[in-house]
Structure 1
Amino acid sequence: MADIGSILVEGVVGVLLREKRLTVATAESCTGGLIGDRITNIAGSSDYFMGGVMSYSNGVKEKILGVPMSVLETMGAVSSECALAMAQGVRRLLNTDIGVSATGIAGPGGGTPQKPVGLVYIALSADGYERVERFIWSGDRIQNKRESSEAALKILLEYLQSL
């Protein structure tokens, strides 16, 4: 069960999406669908949440979301460029107003000195607006996924509050 603070984030996001008549979709790698799960914990979320793509593999990132192979080969799947392309791609694929993505290294393995465990990029793409944030979490795999989903929802909330 989510704590009161996280329920409030999802709830406020839902209220604002409904009020502004906007739709959202998610493209998730390291969070494994947790952002979409949290959005859909709010009753009536089908009014504004169109769906998500869990894109763990580079093949799904490229073939389904349209992340350019050049980005995957030169910058890597864990990069600001990939996160932004994922958010743009899911927005285009599911024809939504907003796309939110997360890509990173949840742990406990997979990190390098350049890209340590806990490194996550979260992106938001909307008409005339794009944002990518970089985070390095220090928890275990589950904590890193939770922190990433919370950060993604807060980025979405900040965007909606700015409209």
Structure 2
Amino acid sequence: MAVRLTSVPGASEFFRGGLITYHNEIKLRLAGVKYETLMNYGAVSAQVAEEMAAGGRRTLGVDICLSDTGIAGPGGETSAKPVGLFYIGLATPEGTWSRKFIFKGDRDKNRESAAAAALKWAAEYLGNFKGS
């Protein structure tokens, strides 16, 4: 997502940074994911996506934060979690939510689809935002 955002001239006006929390230990330390959440739901879950977004929002000191966690492929699937399964998280001052997606591409396409879905959701949120 960050590469797409920072490719826009003037991105520093709205983009502060990001966290890459690929390993579970980093999800715990930097993104504020609870150990119990990882153990109960797994890294690829709505709950982890929401905790990553909320934790990223706190860590970075930003108004909104997106997260994604998924199985890009080609391996890593289980009977309950297929390749292409992603959860996108969005944390804002109003709350934290997640959305589930199942993409049908190869590894690169699934990652690109997840980034596009996350940015589309942020644009929807910002388009509907009514500031005070």
Does the 8 A contact of 2:64 with 2:90 survive in 1?
A: yes
Does the 8 A contact of 2:90 with 2:96 survive in 1?
A: yes
- Secondary structure of 1:139 counterpart: coil
1:19-76 CA deviation, whole Å, 9 max, x = no partner? Answer: xxxxxxxxxxxxxxxx011010101111111100111000000011110000001101
2:9 match:
43
Question: CA RMSD of the aligned region, Å?
Answer: 0.6
1:66 match:
32
Does the 8 A contact of 2:53 with 2:96 survive in 1?
A: no
TM-score where L is the length of structure 2:
0.96
- Secondary structure of 1:109 counterpart: coil
Determine the C-alpha separation between the residues in 1 that align with 2:78 and 2:32.
Answer: 26
Does the 8 A contact of 2:91 with 2:97 survive in 1?
A: yes
Determine the C-alpha separation between the residues in 2 that align with 1:101 and 1:74.
Answer: 19
2:92 match:
126
Unaligned runs of 5+ residues in structure 2 are: none
Q: Does 1:136 align with 2:92?
A: no
Number of residue-to-residue matches in the alignment? 129
1:92 match:
58
Aligned residue type for 2:124: E
Unaligned runs of 5+ residues in structure 1 are: 1-34
The CA deviation at 1:128 is: 1.1
Aligned residue type for 1:98: I
The CA deviation at 1:135 is: 0.4
Determine the C-alpha separation between the residues in 2 that align with 1:36 and 1:74.
Answer: 29
1:74-114 CA deviation, whole Å, 9 max, x = no partner? Answer: 10100000000000011000100001000000000000110
Aligned residue type for 1:119: L
Pick 1 or 2: higher relative contact order, CA cutoff 8 A, min separation 6. Answer: 1
TM-score where L is the length of structure 1:
0.78
The CA deviation at 1:153 is: 0.5
